């Protein structure tokens, strides 16, 4: 629970909730907001509604800029619009994730996330080798880490601020990548009540425990 507004301002908290629950109305977002902020720092529902209206206008602007990027992944659209310069091996990795998407804890597999997968599939390959993990976990790791980059990019777009991925980049140079990943997920999704993200964190914790036993 946030004890002081200065920890995170209301606008940022509402934005974090909105990004993960874009189908929620202002009243639903307000209930989540009240669950994580100390009552003495609550603002009115009217104030929350104003923030939500701003966010919805930002979403419309993003859709006008590129109506396909945040749509559910489809291979034809992806290759035609975003496939230039992407290796065929990266496309194959994306399709492997697509086949397993129902077992991977995430909200939606979008063209934006697929674009991040295409950029990250080499670094994640190195990550798995460094940790000595079973390569059958590759699709899950690729999906989870790319989902964090996707979230940060969308956050920057909806907030109209430059993209900064330093928070997630630490996964690739940390001495303890899996522990770092758990910490990062908790930071990125700290205002999120989504069960899928909780399941993702539990999966990583379980994988970390198995990895340690195997060493």
- Using a 10 angstrom Cβ sphere, with 0-12 exposed, 13-18 middle and 19 or more buried, the burial of residue 76 is exposed
Averaged pLDDT score across all residues of the chain? 83
For the question of whether the overall pTM of this predicted structure is more than 0.85, the answer is no
Give yes or no for a contact between 164 and 152, defined as CB atoms under 8 angstroms apart.
Answer: yes
Domain spans, the chain: 5-65, 75-214
pLDDT in tens, 7-66: 468 888 999 889 888 889 999 999 999 998 989 989 999 999 999 999 999 999 999 999
* pLDDT given for residue 66 in this prediction: 94
């Amino acid at each position: 629970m946030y004890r002081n507004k200065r920890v995170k301002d209301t606008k940022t908290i509402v934005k974090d909730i909105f990004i993960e629950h874009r189908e929620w109305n202002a009243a639903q977002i307000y209930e989540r907001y009240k669950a994580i902020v100390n009552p003495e720092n609550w603002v009115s529902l009217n104030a929350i509604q104003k923030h939500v209206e701003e966010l919805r206008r930002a979403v419309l602007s993003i859709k006008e800029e590129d109506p396909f990027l945040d749509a559910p992944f489809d291979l034809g659209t992806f290759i035609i619009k975003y496939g230039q310069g992407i290796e065929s091996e990266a496309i194959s990795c994306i399709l492997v994730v697509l086949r397993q998407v129902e077992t991977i804890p995430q909200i939606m597999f979008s063209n934006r996330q697929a674009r991040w997968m295409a950029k990250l599939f080499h670094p994640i390959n190195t990550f798995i080798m460094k940790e000595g993990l079973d390569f059958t976990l590759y699709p899950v790791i690729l999906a989870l880490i790319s989902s964090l980059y996707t979230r940060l990019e969308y956050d920057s777009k909806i907030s109209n601020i430059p993209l900064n991925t330093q928070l997630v980049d630490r996964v690739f140079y940390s001495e303890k990548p899996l522990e770092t990943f758990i910490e990062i997920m908790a930071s990125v999704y700290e205002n999120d009540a989504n069960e899928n993200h909780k399941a993702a964190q539990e999966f990583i914790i379980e994988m970390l425990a198995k990895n340690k036993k195997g060493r």
